[in-house]
Structure 1
Amino acid sequence: MAIATLTLNPALDVTTCTEKVRDTHKLRCTAPRFDPGGGGINVARVIHTLGGEVTAIFPCGGPAGTMLETLLGEAGVPIAPVPVKAATRESFTVDEGGTGKQFRFVLPGAELTDDELGSLLDALKAHDFSHIVVSGSLPPGCDPAMIVRLGTLARDTGAKLVVDTSGPALAACEGAGVYLLKPSLREVKDLLGAPIEDEESELAAARTLRERGFGEVIVLSLAERGALLVAEGTELRMPAIEVDAKSAVGAGDSMVAAITLALSRGQSLDDALRYGIAAGAATLMTPATELARLPDVERLYAASSD
């Protein structure tokens, strides 16, 4: 069965490069690169690249929204855009050529009306999906209880809900019927309000999230140290794969994409986590907002399985 991704606050990602970022100066930049952005859209792009069946659902408005649709269409990603009154936001990434530093400017997006949010939920109900992936930030004014509504929808339609979000939306996952939750270590520290300083406290935090009902499966992203997975009867810690990193944009989304795809294919949690780490590493190898390439994912996954 197919996977749906829901991006409540999508973005048109604009990437450029300048020699040095200096205040008050006009900075001459390279020609911009445009990519579809937002957590769920990135997840859909990677699932499509990996050969999975996916539909990207997102609100779409204004010139940036039109370009977002066009870019996804050119990439062959199946989409179900929901027209909205507000313009889709843009996000900007500026690479500093002289130092290799990367500056990321993220605009907030616009509020969605209740009717527009309802239309997004209707789009999820229109087809049978095995998994629904909700990834990225909520738009301004969106009640975090939207996560609860999505949990109810997933239960009623027989889908498994996968969530990668932060802040109040992450807190709303408690008891919401989430199947798999993928927070970062920083997000868990903020959520639990407790220090997490070593592997023992990392494991304790992941167990706490599961026991409190944040998800049946907790995948704690540890950045350059890999990831930790906790589920009923399973606790896995896997190291990251060392690669020549060019950009971290979309690495977490790529991990979520590959894990979800593997699970939808009936693979084990062990294999799914390994696949996710390979996809995240493959995205690190690509510049700017480009995401994982299939040959890189397959090569890294095969090497990690030896």
Structure 2
Amino acid sequence: MKSIATLTMNPTIDVSYDVGKVRHTHKMRTDNEWYAPGGGGINVARVFVRLGGHARCFYMSGGATGPALDGLIDLHQLVRTRIPINGPTRIASAVLERETAKEYRFTPSGPTLSRHEWEACSEALAVDKAPIVVISGSLPPGAPDDYYAMLGKALRTQGKEVVLDTSGKGLRHALDAGGLMLVKPSQGELEDYLGRALGDPQAIAEAARAIVDAGKAQYVAVTMGHRGAILAHRKGTAILPGLQIEAASAVGAGDSFVAAMVFALARGDDVGEAFRLGLAAGSAAVLRAGTGLAHPVDIDRLLNQVAEISPVAP
């Protein structure tokens, strides 16, 4: 089993709670309050470790809220490397309205980094020995649009395999630079990258396969929410339909998907089986409201419901 390192440049303190009904102006009393460390790479590390792997999470933390994030990560017993910054770590909120079972999510943009701060990420990862690096989450304000592309190139020079889960300009530049082991866009993120709508699974599969054929990524896994996911690799494309479950949250589904798929690849599983485990984990993450992410007992149960790989016609 290979170990991984994860990078979270724009982490969060994730707060979740329930309220009877959301109303403007009025003070709303909440209950079922939970706090968790969040951000793409931290979430990936949480699930990867639950599955039995070893992960070190690199993240940026600062301001008055920084120590709170550090403490929450320690509660999850994660191996961590904190990269200090001046700005305060952001706080994201997820509110479940019990009357409608709808979830409302509020996420600040995060602190603005200085050049010295974002360069410290490259310096920290350069000395880590993990053969797989998962770069996950949004680029914070102040970081160059092509930072993930530059970092990925430096890591590949060291012989490391790079996994990317991001969006917008960070995704665009990193994909155009190429050489990724795995990239996991949502359908919307892939459409944004291409600048056009992808109306059906066939079009999504063709677009994902084109990324593989261009040498931009070895594997492309496109998540489509309740409709399932599509995998493209050099031998073809495949689709997995979504599971028939009642979703209570949308928090952490993509991160759980990435963690499980990378876990399976790190232990040497076939990419198709890794894809199936990813879908089971992404589905497990939405079973409960809040910030709990996927748990192995739910992943194992749902994996039995995941279909065998179905080819998508070329």
Shorter chain as denominator, the TM-score bin is over 0.9
Could you say what secondary structure the match of 1:80 adopts? strand
Deviation at 1:225, TM superposition (A): 1.5
Q: Deviations over 1:226-277 (max 9, x none)?
A: 1111111132211222223211200110000011111111111101001101
Amino acid aligned to 2:153: T
Q: Structure 1 residue 55 and structure 2 residue 56: aligned? A: yes
Amino acid aligned to 1:241: L
- Which residue number in structure 1 is paired with residue 280 of structure 2? 278
Note if contact 2:62-2:84 (Cα within 8 Å) is conserved in structure 1: yes
Q: Deviations over 1:267-295 (max 9, x none)?
A: 11101001101111111112211111111
Stretch deviating more after TM superposition (49-58 or 228-237): 228-237
Rounded to whole Å, the distance in 2 between the matches of 1:79 and 1:305 is 36
Deviation at 1:95, TM superposition (A): 1.0
Stretch deviating more after TM superposition (101-110 or 285-294): 285-294
- Map 1:122-271 onto structure 2 (within 5 A): 122-173=123-174, 174-271=176-273
- Which residue number in structure 2 is paired with residue 24 of structure 1? 25
Note if contact 1:130-1:264 (Cα within 8 Å) is conserved in structure 2: no
Could you say what secondary structure the match of 1:107 adopts? coil
1:53–1:146 CA distance, 2 compared to 1 (3 A): same
Q: Deviations over 1:91-144 (max 9, x none)?
A: 111111211111101101011122222222122122211211111111012112
Q: Deviations over 1:133-169 (max 9, x none)?
A: 1111110121121112221222122111111111111
Rounded to whole Å, the distance in 1 between the matches of 2:20 and 2:307 is 41
Note if contact 1:147-1:176 (Cα within 8 Å) is conserved in structure 2: no
Note if contact 2:213-2:234 (Cα within 8 Å) is conserved in structure 1: no
List structure 1 segments (4+ residues) > 6 angstroms apart after TM superposition.
none
Note if contact 1:148-1:177 (Cα within 8 Å) is conserved in structure 2: no
Q: Deviations over 1:13-36 (max 9, x none)?
A: 111222111222222222631111
Note if contact 1:181-1:214 (Cα within 8 Å) is conserved in structure 2: no
1:157–1:302 CA distance, 2 compared to 1 (3 A): farther
Could you say what secondary structure the match of 1:205 adopts? helix
Rounded to whole Å, the distance in 1 between the matches of 2:271 and 2:113 is 36
Amino-acid identity (%) = 38
Rounded to whole Å, the distance in 1 between the matches of 2:224 and 2:26 is 37
TM-score of the aligned structures, taking structure 1 as reference length: 0.95
Note if contact 1:242-1:281 (Cα within 8 Å) is conserved in structure 2: no
TM-score of the aligned structures, taking structure 2 as reference length: 0.93
Q: Deviations over 1:160-182 (max 9, x none)?
A: 11111111111112124222110
Could you say what secondary structure the match of 1:216 adopts? strand
Could you say what secondary structure the match of 1:137 adopts? coil
Amino acid aligned to 1:279: A
Amino acid aligned to 1:61: G
Note if contact 2:15-2:91 (Cα within 8 Å) is conserved in structure 1: yes
Deviation at 1:213, TM superposition (A): 4.0
Amino acid aligned to 1:44: A
User: RMSD across aligned C-alpha pairs, in angstroms?
Assistant: 1.6
Question: Tell me, which stretches of 5 or more residues in structure 2 are unaligned?
Answer: 309-314
Note if contact 1:9-1:139 (Cα within 8 Å) is conserved in structure 2: yes
Q: Structure 1 residue 90 and structure 2 residue 91: aligned? A: yes
Could you say what secondary structure the match of 1:219 adopts? strand
Rounded to whole Å, the distance in 2 between the matches of 1:131 and 1:242 is 33
Deviation at 1:303, TM superposition (A): 4.5
Amino acid aligned to 1:222: M
Note if contact 1:278-1:300 (Cα within 8 Å) is conserved in structure 2: yes
Q: Deviations over 1:14-61 (max 9, x none)?
A: 112221112222222226311111111111110011111101100111
Amino acid aligned to 1:182: K
| Matched pairs, number | 306
- Which residue number in structure 2 is paired with residue 35 of structure 1? 36
